[in-house]
Amino acid sequence: MNGIYSVLTSYIYVQPYILFLLSVFCAGLLLANFHYAKQLCELLLCTGKSRLNFDFDYGARRGPHKWKEFFPAARGCYQSPINIRTETTEILKISEPLIWRNYDDLPAKVAIENTGHTVDLKAHYVCNQPILSGADLLESYSFVSLCFRWSALDNEGSEHSINDRKYPLEMQATHISKENTEFNPSYIGDLGILVLSYFFTITKFDNPYLDPIILNLHHIREPFKRVEIPPFPISWLCYPFKSGFYSYGGSLTEPPCSEGVTWFVQPEPMSISETQLAEFRLLLSKDHASRILRNSRPVQNLNSRIVCYNRFDQFSRLSETAAEGDEQQAQAICS
């Protein structure tokens, strides 16, 4: 009995020292691996705050200036959107133009939805999914969805800008690499996502190619409403440009703001009338009371990134083909 008592007494006295040594050891590990510890803390912080059901918006309380506190990716160095300064862009001579396949095909279904932040359009294809390739793309990309960015003012609304000029509306067409099996914006790394950006400028006349959407916006005036609309070719909205566009590496422009996104920005704007644009401004936000009058993230720092102006050079392609022919001929002679 005395032996058991002495063992328990020894354990009681020794336990604080063991805990102290373990604490020192753990602290040493954290200091030695500060970078990983910081990432772990950010992950726990993000997860903890997500449990508070943080729902982003574009206002004072949960707007873009707050996203960095809840979404670590938003603090990255390759964020979107950006302001494109034409005098600092680099010319990229592409050996072949962009190749658009199946964009003129009629989808089986088309649906639009008021997400509470924007208008989202999705098209379902039984076969012949629209696919984009060519230029300097290393793989093919399939069409996923469209969304729109606007504001209450005509001199702003777009997320991207060119030489500090904003446009009243920007349409973003999201594509996903054919190597990916699903669209997962929370993935950390190369998302395999390509987004095409189109600007709109106000004109006196309606743009008839926008009518399939504009004429049905009243059906989704309330947030989270979704409606199927008569199918139409996506090429009505996604104008198939083949050259003369800007490209850069960036991120998603809304949470989680994941990086690893390739952006193609078409500088030539399309048209929209004031009446058509007003229909977007009548949509209600997620609070069911206020209208969506701003859904654009401010431009982000370019940092060390390079923006390229992609230009198809047919003569460069011909010279490459000639060089390949000469090389094959030389090999044939040597053999």
Question: Is 182 strand, coil or helix?
Answer: coil
Length of the chain: 335
Measured from the Cβ of residue 294, the count of other Cβ atoms closer than 10 Å reads 18
Q: Cα separation of 57 and 66, whole Å?
A: 10
| Closest of 115, 238, 251, 113 to residue 194, by C-alpha | 251
Look up residue 175 and give its two tokens. 């594509």
Q: Cα separation of 41 and 34, whole Å?
A: 10
Determine whether 117 is an active site residue. Answer: yes
Question: Which residue in 35, 65, 117, 175 is the catalytic one?
Answer: 117
Reported as type and span, the H/E element at residue 162 is strand 161-162
Burial of 98 (C-beta count, 10 Å sphere; 0-12/13-18/19+):
buried
Q: How many CA atoms lie within 13 A of 329 on its CB side?
A: 6
Whether 84 and 160 have beta carbons less than 8 Å apart is answered as yes
Q: Which residue has the tokens 């997500």?
A: 50
CA 299 to chain centre: 13
Look up residue 147 and give its two tokens. 């969304």
Look up residue 22 and give its two tokens. 């373990």
| Closest of 283, 232, 27, 43 to residue 130, by C-alpha | 232
The shares of helix, strand and coil residues in the chain, as percent rounded to the nearest 5, are 30, 30, 40
Question: Is 308 strand, coil or helix?
Answer: strand
Which active-site residues does the annotation give? 117
